[in-house]
Chains A and B, each alone.
Chain A
Amino acid sequence: MPENQCIGKVTATESKPTTCTGVYFWLSPDVIIRPFDIVRIEHICGNGNDKSYSYAIVRELSYITDSAGHLANFVSSDFGDISARPMNERLGTTIAEADVLGNSQNIEMPIRDGARVEWAGPEEIRSALGVEKLQKPIPCGYIQTSNKEEIRIDFEARYLVGPEAAHMNISGISGLASKTSYAMFLLSALQQRMKDEVSIILFNVKGPDLLAIDQQNTQMTARQKSEWQKCALEPTPLTNVTYLYPYAKRPDRHFTSTHAPKDVLDAQVKQNRAFNYYYDVDTFKGGEEGNETDVGRDKMSLLFSDIDDPQSTMESCIQELGEIQAETWDKLREEVHAKTEKGQPGRKEISVQSWRKFSRLIRTRTNHDIFSARYVGEDRRQKLIIESIKDLRPGNILVVDIAPLPDYLQCLVFGDVIRTVFDARLDLYESIKRENLGRVVIFADELNKYAPVTTGSRDRTLTRWLLEVTERGRSLGIVLFGAEQFRSGIHKRVLGNCSTDIYGRTNPVEVFSNSADYKLFSQSNKATVTRLNQGQMLLQHSVFNTALIKVRFPFPAYRQLQG
């Protein structure tokens, strides 16, 4: 292997020796380097004559001088004269601390003192990071090294969307548009690289953010386009997208309450890509296909999942609901209301007070346009969620807009989609063939709403479902891509099941508090995660040879709608 430019030499001292996993080196004064750069270091060889190369990722940089203390520097300025100009430059050097990633001959001996440190080449870096010989690489960004190299980084599909491992979590403060942009970039990469294997469902939770993802971003600059090419991807929007909007009685807006601009909506309707979802009584309380009776009851419990039910009285009411005969929402509400009257016939396990509370809740919570009956005409473009999922195929994307809904209805829709896909993959529906769906990737922003960290002794229904998805979804082919502001707000088991973690910029309180998620970060990584710029992320993935890689990712190629 030819020698590259030498940038420093390894230093091993009595107090700071090199180890199998760590190495220190001093740097030539003119070299500029930064954390996450990867270097190549000469090492011994098995046959004793030749040499091997170890690769290490810079973790921390420090500048040391021979000054015995701050006071010595004060004294060196004529005892505190700030105008004093020293004739001599104090002896000092930059010391880099790096984690060993591997060796070209799998030698795990500590690197020797004085070994040459060089820049590593692009292929060497990919190999050292463990992304060189992947079976199905999915581009996940590119790294920029201090010596001006730009190197693509890939995830291994088997570890991103299963079956070896699955699920991804993205965290980061809002306002930088990084979380959603990154998720969309990755979904785009999945669509470009796994068109025949993966179908995607994503939720639009804020304004019209994700409601034009199949339209080209016409304001992209040449530089932004070139960033896609650095990731070996086309700077194109997503394709084969169907939009599912909440139904509303608004003929002027194509019967939806979505925040999508009129022109966008018109175009989607024209292309027959936009539909309005609704809940009729039958599917809500059970009965249409498969064993939907149970599912219906669960949907009802989703509607109340944010309400404390320590005595399980609500659960009992929902159970009783199955026996009520009602074909319209009004009828259902009336029937429930009837239970609130004294002197009801039949079983008396549920008190009238409990029915009153339940009735109040069902009345207020179903008082929304999405709780409707199917109309005869086609112009309202009504579609049940299960019908949309039935039509989902690999390479397709289903965008479910829940932004206009209140929180409890967002939980309902999200939970319903998750459960329907889960049951479909379990082959519980006669009309949906699991193999038709492919592996289903579900992207949900604001995951903290759906799977918050456990506070009581019992997780709520939606959280339990999400746990089931993250714990069993890998083998079933359901993959959750979640995003949230703070990891500390997410259920530990949901996070623990993610094979890929993406860290966006977060605030120092989150990082430096006792949050277990950042406990193993080095000090410099902690500092880095609080200073990430727009378009930068720290990645953690099962196949990487290092804990974290700092990448850049391209600007979204789809039309950016402002709320």
Chain B
Amino acid sequence: MKRLISILRENNIECLPNERFTLDVEMFPENGEEYLFPKQVLFESPKLQGGKKWVPEIPVSMFRYFLDGSQRSYRVIDASFKSRYLPICAGQVGVAVLERGDSGHIVPRRDLTRIENILAMPDILEEDNAKDLERKINNEMPANKHFRIVRYNYQSKEDKDPADLGRAMIIHEMQILELKTIREMISNYVIQDERMLVKDGSLQYRDTKIKDLNLSKDDLVQLRNVIGLAKTFKPNMTLGQGRGRQDLGNLTKGLDWKERTTVISPNKDEVTTHGWWYLRLRPRDKVYSPLQGIVKIEVFASAEEKDNDGITEARADTVSSYVLQERNVTPYNADTRWASHIYPIYLAETYLRSSFLSHERFKSLIF
């Protein structure tokens, strides 16, 4: 098997191996944060008095599938293109789906789990050349180690290091892989009203990504059975307007165990309108910070909800109660984020992480 750097050199790309081969990247970054949305609007119907409520506990859950996407990316080579030295980033992106049986036993859905090797090259390399290069690389690689070349716009943000842009491209590919998996699950009727999907992290994909999925009208309906569950949020984000304004941290720290906030929407007038709220999963007196043990729950709004100016209270309560059911068992002591983590997502992360090539093996594909 030829190494990637040799193949690039054979194709007259002058390569300087990156000495650092940076491994110090966040392995499981949370994607998309609230600060992208400057405007927040209360989005619950009817309006929730007091801004929070206690969630009734029901001992069932319609959550059946758990999806986690992850990536590992490295700046691997600085290459000379037309007298410019630009970074080439390489990474592994993957999506894992686990299914939970009625007994609580969790098994991986291998048919819905996939891992890809991505090579992010600056778009100074023309598309045709990129395709040709990809073919040449893969001719030399075993089938299960193939790379897909994606091009990043190295000039899009002048103040940014091009390597960050390359890495952002890899993260984007991971999000696309997540969405494709969700689409496949919807199209194949895997996701249904009583077989809902919980996705790790936010649902705040850029609208174009959702649109690019080309979901039919029927399939779009199924998006209501996809739940986003984020473990982190920015407490300094401001909610509401005028006298009702308050920081998110202030609102959430007032939550008691099994209480949720009202639903908020950043884009209530957009095509893919979604709303989110916060729920306390753990007793306040058992965690060291008032913000620990709170999860952010995101759902897409249905057409009626969009028309009726908000996610219905019953739906927010039901989804909240399902999430509350997920609080046990926990990865306590095994993951620092245990208080806001749900176990099936933790397992999906672990499964995906153990399916990635190790740093050394991945490095050996390159150099």
Contact = CB atoms under 8 A, between A and B. Distances in A.
Interface of A: 29, 66-69, 71-73, 75-79, 84-91
B328 A69 contact: no
B330 interface: yes
B334 A76 contact: no
Nearest to B334: A68
Given A85-B59, A88-B100, A88-B343, A72 B106 contact: no
Nearest to A77: B328
A69 B329 CA distance: 13
8 A-B pairs closest in CB distance: A68-B333, A76-B329, A86-B328, A89-B104, A72-B332, A68-B334, A75-B332, A88-B343
B258 to A, nearest CB: 11
A341 B309 CA distance: 128
Nearest to B60: A87
A246 B327 CA distance: 78
Contacts of A86: 104, 328-329
Contacts, number: 64
A66 B350 contact: yes
Interface of A is mostly: loop
Nearest to A72: B332
B31 interface: no
Given A88-B326, A91-B106, 20 more contacts: A66-B331, A66-B350, A68-B331, A68-B333, A68-B334, A72-B330, A72-B334, A73-B329, A76-B330, A86-B328, A87-B100, A87-B104, A87-B325, A88-B104, A88-B106, A88-B342, A88-B343, A89-B103, A89-B106, A90-B343
B328 A72 contact: no
A90 B342 CA distance: 12
B61 interface: yes
Contacts of A89: 103-106, 329
B367 to A, nearest CB: 24
A76 B103 contact: no
A233 B106 CA distance: 50
A84 B328 contact: yes
B264 interface: no
Contacts of A90: 329, 343
A87 B103 contact: no
Interface in B313-331: 325-331
Contact of B61 (A66, A73, A87): A87
Contacts of B347: 66, 91
B344 A88 contact: yes
B283 interface: yes
A87 B326 contact: yes
A79 to B, nearest CB: 5
Contact of B333 (A71, A85, A88): A71
A200 B155 CA distance: 99
Contacts of B350: 66
A67 B332 CA distance: 8
B283 to A, nearest CB: 7
Contacts of A78: 283, 327-328
16 contacts: A68-B334, A72-B332, A75-B286, A75-B332, A78-B283, A86-B104, A86-B328, A86-B329, A87-B100, A88-B104, A88-B326, A88-B343, A88-B344, A89-B105, A89-B106, A90-B329
B124 to A, nearest CB: 43
Contacts of A75: 286, 330, 332
Contacts of A73: 329
A78 B283 CA distance: 8
Nearest to A79: B286
Contacts of A68: 331-334
Nearest to B346: A66
B346 to A, nearest CB: 9
Interface string B299-314: 0000000000000000
A249 B344 CA distance: 86
B179 to A, nearest CB: 26
A22 to B, nearest CB: 24
Contacts of B327: 78
A69 B103 CA distance: 23
A87 to B, nearest CB: 5
Nearest to B350: A66
Contacts of A79: 283, 286
Contacts of B286: 75, 79
Given A72-B334, A79-B283, A79-B286, A88 B329 contact: yes
